[in-house]
Structure formats: structure tokens, C-alpha cells
């Protein structure tokens, strides 16, 4: 984790059909959420993904859509927990869920019943996964449960998306994993001020039963989760069923629960005036917002979403010290003001090309009372790149190191990557 102290907000979100809207070619709402998180939360809050995907399928998804790097990744339906960019696995969690578990015994019963296994990458040490059609689920699930319990196994069965059946240790699952993480944070004196859980299907249900969390069931949720919600008695005011789909529903829930700020920089105009612009008190959040606005403005210029104007140009240059150096990924050193000048003639050059730029892993270190060292990854996507679609779709083009001087300008240097 990049900061110490209690996170202002912890978001624990499912990925498929919750954070990620498959079929949305532009990933519009995911990019909106990403800009909001990066600009306003990344410096003091925790983003946790909680997905049924294995490490391999999680890595695949990160190559396909503009997902921010999470602080914590809870994978394989809450059976594997990884921290940070290095994806360091939590071995204590693995030990925790080992009790009463035998993969071999689960397979033995499944083979007897002739169940259809999911692909190899989704079979994990503490998760055995099958495909079971909705019509068959009604009798397959109770019968499998009965046989596994008869063998003395301490397991749980989770049905999601009207097709996926997961068998896990009873002590595992998305809800148990989140409880474990919250307890860990508590032991470190870092209880999040607020927690929001987000989901769309059966394996997310447990998240909504964790104590002291707000929850959003996104508009496009599966029947099994909506049914569960409908069957709940008592106070359900901590769970919001959004009217918008996927990540747009998460932003809607932030508004509903008054988790501030909740307006994405992608939903408002980047202020162009530099004369009356006052750089707020130097804090890591202010720097992150500057980075997000700078990249957003560059994107809008290239897409032709904003008018070609001197004001937009001045605003771009305002963020960068004239005397700084830029080291591109290929090792070429130049001056960022020259780079900005080269954009002048490219206004609108990316029109209609599904072109987007976004920042990930904005990190800042205070160097002295009036300067900060900031590093971030800049990503670009464009339809006009035609080779190896998935690899080229999201190409990390460079990492930037930026010095922030409050009340003066930014000085930016780029580190090769
Ligand atoms: C993901 C996993 C799959 C699992 C499903 C539901 O799709 O890849 O193995 O069954 O989530 O948890
Ligand atoms: Mg899902």
C-alpha cells in the first residue's frame, strides 16, 4: 500500500459485468470511474478487485480493458489474495482456508456425477469450477452438496451468472476474504472510513453481508443476486440497486451514499483559465488531479473534442516546467514544451479512432516543503493500431516523473520504461 493511515474509502468491486461492461467498445463508464478514482481517491483510498477470475484470466482482462492497477486483488472467488503491483500473495490466507479442504475429494465426487469442468486455468488449489446449465442446477447443486458433506468436507457451493458453479472451502469466498482484509486493516489501526462493495452475480452476494459496508447491485445484475436481494428481510438501506449499468452504476451509488467527490473529471470540462487558477495546497491529491486533467486535455485535443485554442495550449503548458527533460520509453530525451508544441498541428488527428489516454499508478513523494516527486503510467488506446489487437490496444507508452512546486509550475521528467 502506498500510504499509511486509515483509507478514506475502500471500494471492493467485482470485475465482469460490474466494473467492466463487456460489449462497451469504448469502455466509457470504466474510463469515467478510472479518472474519478485516480484524480480523487488513489492517494488515500483503497481499490480492491474481487473477482472469480484466476490470476491468468485477471491478467488477460487487464490487457483488454483500461483497468486501474488495484491495491489488492482478491482472485479465484476469494481463494487467493494478492497485494500491490508486485502481486505478492497472502500465504496466511491460503493456510486459513486449507482446513477441511480436499481438492481431490471434490474431483472424485464431481467425476462420479459426470460434471462438466471449466477450462484448466480456472481450476485453482482451493476452487473447483464447473459449467452447469440453469435447468440442471436445481437438482445438481443439492445433490453435489449432499455428497461432499457426506465425505466430511467443509465446503460451499456458489452459482453465478446462471452457468458457473464453484466449489470452495467454506472459510473462503468473496465475503470471507473481505472480512479478513478489513480485520487485517483494523489490527493495523487502519479501518476504512467508508467501504463500498459492488457486484452483479451470485458470487458477489456474500460481499453485501459484511458488516458496516454500503453496497451497490448494478442495474444489469443477474437474477440470482436480485432474487437474493428481494428475499432479504429487515433494513436493506445499505444496499442500492442502481439504475445505471456497471461502472456507471458504481458512480451512481457513490452519489446515492454521498461518498465524495463523485463527479468524474471526464464528466466536466477541464478548466482552461490559468490566470485565475490557484494551485491548491500541495497535497498528493492535488498532484494526481493535475496529472489526470493534463492527460485528459491532451486526449481531448487530439480527438478534437475541444476547440483548438491558445487557452487550451496555455493550460497544457502550465502544468510543466519549461526547463524539464523528458525521457521517452525508447530513451529519447526531449523537452515537454516542445512535445506540447508538436501537438499543435495534431488537433483532431484522432477523431473517430476510439482514441483514449489515461493515467494509472499515480504516485507522489514529498521531497521538500515545496516539491513533490510524482511518477505515473500513461496509457493510450487507439483503433488505428492494427497489429496484435489485444497487446496494442492498451500500450503503456511511458512513465512520467514530475516535480510539483506549489504556487509555481510543474517540472516534469519522464523515466524510460
Ligand atoms: C469467473 C471465473 C470462473 C467462475 C466465475 C464465477 O468467471 O473465471 O471460474 O466460475 O467467475 O465465480
Ligand atoms: Mg460479475
* Nearest CA, atom 5, ligand 1: 52
Beta bridge partners of 299: none
- φ/ψ of residue 176, rounded to 5: -65, -40
Shared domain for 279 and 378, answered yes or no, is yes
Torsion of CA 224, 228, 231, 237, to 10 degrees: -130
Q: Is residue 157 part of a domain?
A: yes
C-alpha closest to that of 17 among 223, 263, 236: 223
Best probe residue, ligand 1, of 74, 118, 202 (max atoms within 8 Å of C-beta)? 118
State which of 53, 124, 159, 224 you would mutate to test the pocket of ligand 1, scoring each by most atoms of that ligand within 8 A of its C-beta.
53
Give the distance (Å) from ligand 2 centre to CA of residue 351: 33
Please give the distance, rounded to the nearest whole angstrom, from the Cα atom of residue 139 to the centre of ligand 1. Answer: 20
Q: How many domains does the chain have?
A: 3
Q: Which residue has a Cα nearest atom 6 of ligand 1?
A: 52
CATH number at residue 142: 3.90.1070.10
> CATH code at 317?
3.10.450.50
In-domain check, residue 2: no
Within 8 A by CB and 6+ apart from 340, the residues are 313, 316, 317, 320
Residues with Cβ within 8 Å of 50's Cβ and at least 6 positions away in sequence, in order, are 12, 13, 14, 74, 78, 174, 177, 178, 197, 204, 207
- Shared-domain flag, residues 35 and 115: no
The pLDDT tens digits along the chain (417 residues) read 556 789 999 999 999 999 999 988 889 999 999 999 999 999 999 999 999 999 999 999 998 899 999 999 999 999 999 999 899 999 999 999 998 899 999 999 999 999 999 999 999 999 999 999 999 999 999 999 999 999 999 999 999 999 999 999 999 999 999 999 999 999 999 999 999 999 999 999 999 999 999 999 999 999 999 999 999 999 999 999 999 999 999 999 999 999 999 999 999 988 777 654 444 555 778 878 888 998 899 999 999 999 999 988 888 887 666 665 555 555 556 677 777 888 899 999 999 888 898 888 888 776 665 556 667 777 888 774 421 221 222 233 333 444 443 333 333 333 333
d(CA 146, CA 143): 5
Specify if 1 maps to a domain.
Answer: no
Range of the domain at 110: 100-169
Q: Model-level pTM?
A: 0.90
Q: Which of 266, 286, 318 is the last residue of a domain?
A: 266
Amino acid at each position: 500500500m502506498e500510504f499509511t493511515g486509515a483509507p478514506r474509502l475502500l471500494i471492493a468491486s467485482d470485475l465482469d459485468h460490474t466494473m467492466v461492461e463487456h460489449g462497451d467498445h469504448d469502455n466509457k463508464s470504466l474510463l469515467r470511474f478510472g479518472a474519478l478514482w485516480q484524480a480523487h481517491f488513489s492517494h488515500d483510498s483503497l481499490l480492491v478487485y474481487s473477482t472469480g477470475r484466476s490470476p491468468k484470466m485477471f491478467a488477460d482482462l487487464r490487457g483488454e480493458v483500461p483497468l486501474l492497477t488495484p491495491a489488492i486483488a482478491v482472485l479465484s472467488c476469494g481463494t487467493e489474495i494478492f497485494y500491490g503491483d508486485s502481486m505478492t500473495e497472502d500465504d496466511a490466507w491460503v493456510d486459513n482456508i486449507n482446513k477441511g479442504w480436499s481438492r481431490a475429494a471434490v474431483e472424485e465426487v464431481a467425476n462420479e456425477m459426470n460434471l462438466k469442468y471449466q477450462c484448466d486455468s480456472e481450476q485453482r488449489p482451493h476452487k473447483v469450477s464447473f459449467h452447469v446449465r440453469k435447468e440442471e442446477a436445481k437438482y445438481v447443486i443439492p445433490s453435489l452438496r449432499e455428497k461432499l458433506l457426506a465425505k466430511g468436507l467443509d465446503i460451499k457451493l456458489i452459482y453465478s451468472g446462471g452457468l458457473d458453479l464453484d466449489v470452495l472451502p467454506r472459510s473462503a469466498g468473496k465475503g470471507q476474504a473481505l472480512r479478513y482484509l478489513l480485520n487485517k486493516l483494523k489490527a493495523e489501526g487502519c479501518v476504512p472510513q467508508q467501504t463500498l462493495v459492488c457486484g452483479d452475480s451470485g458470487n458477489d452476494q456474500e460481499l453485501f453481508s459484511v458488516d458496516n459496508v454500503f453496497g451497490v447491485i448494478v442495474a444489469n445484475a443477474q437474477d440470482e443476486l436480485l432474487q437474493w436481494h428481494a428475499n432479504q428481510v429487515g433494513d436493506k438501506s445499505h444496499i442500492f440497486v442502481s439504475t445505471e449499468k456497471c461502472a456507471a452504476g458504481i458512480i451512481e451509488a457513490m452519489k446515492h451514499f454521498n461518498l465524495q467527490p463523485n463527479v468524474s473529471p471526464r464528466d466536466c470540462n477541464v478548466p482552461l483559465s490559468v490566470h485565475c487558477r490557484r494551485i491548491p495546497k500541495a497535497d498528493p491529491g492535488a498532484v494526481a488531479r493535475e496529472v489526470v486533467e493534463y492527460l485528459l486535455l491532451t486526449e481531448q485535443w487530439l480527438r478534437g473534442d475541444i476547440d483548438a485554442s491558445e487557452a487550451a495550449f496555455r493550460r497544457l503548458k502550465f502544468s510543466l516546467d519549461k526547463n524539464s527533460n523528458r525521457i521517452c520509453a525508447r530513451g529519447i530525451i526531449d523537452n515537454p514544451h516542445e512535445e506540447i508544441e508538436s501537438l499543435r498541428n495534431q488537433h483532431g488527428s484522432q477523431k473517430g479512432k476510439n482514441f483514449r489516454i489515461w493515467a494509472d499508478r499515480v504516485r507522489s513523494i514529498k521531497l521538500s516543503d515545496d516539491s513533490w516527486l510524482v511518477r505515473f503510467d500513461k496509457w493510450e488506446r487507439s483503433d488505428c493500431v492494427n497489429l496484435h489487437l489485444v497487446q496494442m490496444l492498451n500500450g503503456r507508452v511511458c512513465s512520467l516523473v514530475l516535480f510539483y512546486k506549489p504556487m509555481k509550475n510543474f517540472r516534469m521528467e519522464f523515466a524510460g520504461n
